[in-house]
Structure 1
Amino acid sequence: MQVTLLGTGDTAGTPVPRCDCATCERARETGQRRSRFSVHVKNERTGQRLLIDASPDFRQQFLDTDVALPDAAIITHVHFDHLDGLGNVYRLLDRLPVHAANETDPETGESVAETVRRRYNYLHQVEVFPETPFEPFEAAGFEITLVPVVHPPLLSYGLRVEGEEAVLSLTGDTSYAIPERSQTVLSGADLLLAEAIVPAAMCEKHPLGGRHPDENGVYRSFGTKHMTREGALDMAERLDAEQVRLVHLSHRYPAEQAFGPKLGVDGEQIVL
């Protein structure tokens, strides 16, 4: 299994256009950039490729890396930074099976799969496959299981990708309050990609503050729908992950911490 981090940033990416903060300036100077979130997973046994979330930066991500275009895709939720790259399959692919959860979201009145189908019904290349959370399915030669996480107000999902040689888990966009049943599915991975939008110290700047403090009062959730760095690292320990990379990172990390150990950057490849 070869995992390529195509996009490791949040909805604004790093650097943010016209932002002159120290983190964005360092990203420009060093070339350590973070586009909107997406992950490419190659099945080295079959040669098939899986795309997890379709970033609006799809085109540039595939220009910047040497990975092949996907044979299948998964959409974890319907926020634009995880979905809107699907339009790029036009004239690039003849067919792209897209897997997404089939649970109806009370907020939207439709499932993630239904939203994808409605949004991209003009593209014959996009073929949507509704999937039931906790029920494994096959895509790109992997066994995959979607699990609910907590990213209000919308339904959002993490997932486990299991190959013959390794297991990859992703928390998806979520607060620290991942349900126990979902944690069980995500546990024991060779690599965990954990959402970690900001350091815990930034919670004081959120209108809702921080949530889910640990025994030392360190917040593990930023507001209601994202994990802090400290929360993500704590979750990696809870899930007994062999390796962890923090992803979905914002430019609000202090410049001296923004590109430290375990923090993913675009283009990083990890072979499991």
Structure 2
Amino acid sequence: MRVTLLGTGDTTGTPTVGCDCDTCLEARERGIERSRFSVHVENERTGESLLVDFSPDFRHQFLTQDVPIPDAAIVSHIHFDHIDGLGNVYRLLDHLDVHAADETDPATGESVADTVRSKFDYLDRIDVHDQTPFETFRTCGLDVTLVPVVHPPLLCYGLAIEDPETGAKLSISGDSTYAISEESRAVLADPDLLLAEAIVPASVCEYHPIGGDDYDEDGVPRTFGTKHMTREGAIALGEDLAADITRLVHVAHYYPAEEAFEEPLAVDGEVYEL
């Protein structure tokens, strides 16, 4: 299983358009980018590949990274930085299977799968497949399980992707606070690689209108506001799940420049062979 991090940034990416903060300036100087979130998973046994989330930077990512066009895809939730790139497949693909959760979201009155259908009804070459959380399905020769995470007010899902022949496992936290349920954690546990969202360091919580949450024993917040994990929370999640490798993604430009490119924060283009 070959995993390529196509996009490791949050909703604005780094560098952020029109921003001259020290972190964005440092990213430009280093030639480093964190475009909007997306992950490419290639099953080298079958020659098929799976895309997790459709970044608005889809075109740029596939032009700059050495990865094949996906045979299937998964949508974790309906925020624009995870779904709007689906429009890029217009005239590009003859057919694409798109998998998404089937639970009706009280906030929208429809499931993620339903939203994909309605929002992209003009894409007659995609087939949307409803998937039930905690029920494993197979695509591209890989076993995939969606699990609910915590990203109010919308329903959002993390996922585990496992090669049934080699046992290689990738887990993705999804956009979430640290308060992921034990049932979901059990599915995500023991991955070779965990991609955990870490939008800001805990020190930034003091600038959020409601601060942080899910404090550790030293009073450090593992959740930023109500929707995302801090760096410290994401690292703790990796330890909780006994991940062999944890890389932090969905990273914002609000990290101080001296911290923004330190380990284990990921940048676009990282590749992992599992």
Q: Output one character per residue of 1:178-214: Cα deviation in whole Å (capped at 9) or x when no partner.
A: 0110000000000000000000000000111000000
Aligned residues: 272
* 1: CA distance, partners of 2:78 / 2:139: 20
1:236 corresponds to which residue?
238
Q: Which residue of 1 aligns with 2:20?
A: 20
Report the Cα distance in structure 1 between the residues aligned to 2:125 and 2:65, rounded to whole angstroms: 23
1:223-248 Cα deviation digits (max 9, x unpaired):
01100000000000000101010000
Query: For residues 199 and 126 of structure 1, what CA distance do their matches in structure 2 show?
Result: 38
Partner of 1:207: 209
1:50 aligned counterpart, secondary structure: strand
Question: How far apart in 1 are the matches of 2:220 and 2:71?
Answer: 41
2:225 to 223, 226, 245: 223
Q: Which residue of 1 aligns with 2:10?
A: 10
Q: Which residue does the alignment assign to 1:153? A: 153
In structure 2, the residue matched to 1:193 is: 195
Note the alpha carbon deviations across 1:116-147, whole angstroms, 9 max, x for none: 01011111111100000000001111000000
Are 2:105 and 1:105 aligned?
yes
Counterpart-to-counterpart distance in 1, 2:19 and 2:85: 24
CA distance in 2, matches of 1:189, 1:167: 5
Could you say which residue in structure 2 is the equivalent of 1:262? 264
Q: CA RMSD in A?
A: 0.5
**Residue type at the aligned position of 2:206:** E
| Distance in 2, Cα, partners of 1:252 & 1:5 | 20
**1:22 Cα deviation from its structure 2 partner:** 0.5
Q: Aligned AA for 2:232? A: E
Q: Kindly state the Cα deviation for residue 18 of structure 1 after the two structures are TM-superposed.
A: 1.1
Which residue is equivalent to 1:81? 81
Corresponding residue number in structure 2 for 1:30: 30
**Which residue, out of 175, 178, 196, partners 1:176?**
178
Deviations 1:16-36 (A, max 9, x none): 111110000011111111000
1:23-66 CA distances to partner (integer Å, 9 max, x unpaired)?
Answer: 00011111111000000000011110000000000000000111
Shift of 1:174: 0.2
Give the distance between the partners of 1:157 and 1:251, measured in 2 at CA: 24
In structure 1, what is the Cα distance between the partners aligned to 2:143 and 2:210? 38
Letter in 1 for 2:243: A
Calculate percent identity across the aligned residue pairs. 65
TM-score of the superposition, structure 1-length normalised? Answer: 0.99
Alignment-derived partner of residue 44 in structure 2: 44
Find the aligned partners of 2:91 and 2:216 in 1 and give their Cα distance.
Answer: 49
Gapped regions of structure 2 (runs ≥ 5): none
TM score, norm. by length of structure 2: 0.99
1:111 shift after superposition: 0.2
Residue 255 of structure 2: aligned partner: 253
State the alpha-carbon separation in 2 of the partners of residues 159 and 21 from structure 1: 33
CA deviation digits over 1:155-174, x for unaligned, max 9?
00000000132100000000
Q: Which amino acid aligns with 1:60?
A: H
State the secondary structure of the residue aligned to 1:264.
coil
Where structure 1 has 5 or more consecutive residues not aligned to the other structure, the ranges are none
SS in 1 for 2:15: coil
Give me the whole-angstrom Cα distance separating, in 2, the residues matched to 1:263 and 1:58: 21
